[in-house]
Structure 1
Amino acid sequence: MRYRTKLLIAACLLLAMSLSAAAFSYWGVAQSHRYLIRSRIAHEQLERQLQLSRHSQQLFKAWTDTLLTGLSDRPLGEAYLKKVIESDMSALEELSRRELAIVGPEERKAEMAEVHRLAAIRKEYQIVLDQLAEVDQLRSRGRPDIAWQNLVELLRGGLDRELNELIEVAVADETAEVLRIDAAATQLLTRLERISTIHAALAVLITLGLAIVLIRGLRAPLAALLHGTRKLAEGDLSYRIAVSGKDEFAELARSFNNMAGDLQDHQKALQDARDNLESIVEERTEELRQANESLRKIDETRRAFFADISHELRTPLTVIRGEGEIALRGRNKRVAEYKHSIERVVEQAKHLSVLVGDLLFIARQGAGAAKLKIRPVDLTQLVGSVVGDAKIMAMNKDVGVAFAEDTPHQTIDGDPARLRQLLLILLDNAVRYSRAGGQVNVGLSRRNGTVTIEIADTGVGIPQEDLENVFERFRRAGNAAEVNDEGLGLGLPVAKAIVEAHHGKIELQSKAGEGTTVLVSVPEQAEGSQA
Structure 2
Amino acid sequence: MFRFRLAIVIVVSFCFVLFLGIALYWGANQVAGHFQRSQMAYDAFDHYEKLSQEAYRHFKQRMDRQITDSPAADTGVESSKQRLYEAMQELRNTAVAESHGEDRQDKSAELERVAHFTAFLDAGEYRFDEVERLRQQGKNELAVKALSKFSEEEIDGKFQPLIDAAIDAEREKAGKAKQEMEDLVAQSRWVAILASLIAAIFSLLSGALLFRGVKKPIEALMKGTDEIASGNLDYRIALDTGDEFGYLASHFNQMAQELELQQNKLREGRLVLEKRVAERTVELHQLNEELKRMDNERREFLADISHELRTPITVIRGEAEVTLRGKDRETEEYKDALHRIVELSMQLGKYVNDLLFLARAETANLQFEWERLDLVELLSAAVENFQVMAEEESMSVSLDAPEGPVWVRGDKQRLRQVLFILGDNACRYSNPGGRIAVALQVDGGIASFSLSDQGIGIPEEDLERIFDRHFRSKNALASRDDGKGLGLPMAKSILKAHGGSITAASSENSGSTFTVVLPLVSPD
- What interval of TM-score do these two structures reach, taking the shorter chain for normalisation? 0.3 to 0.5
Alignment TM-score, normalising by the size of structure 1: 0.47
TM-score by length of 2: 0.47
Greater gyration radius: 1
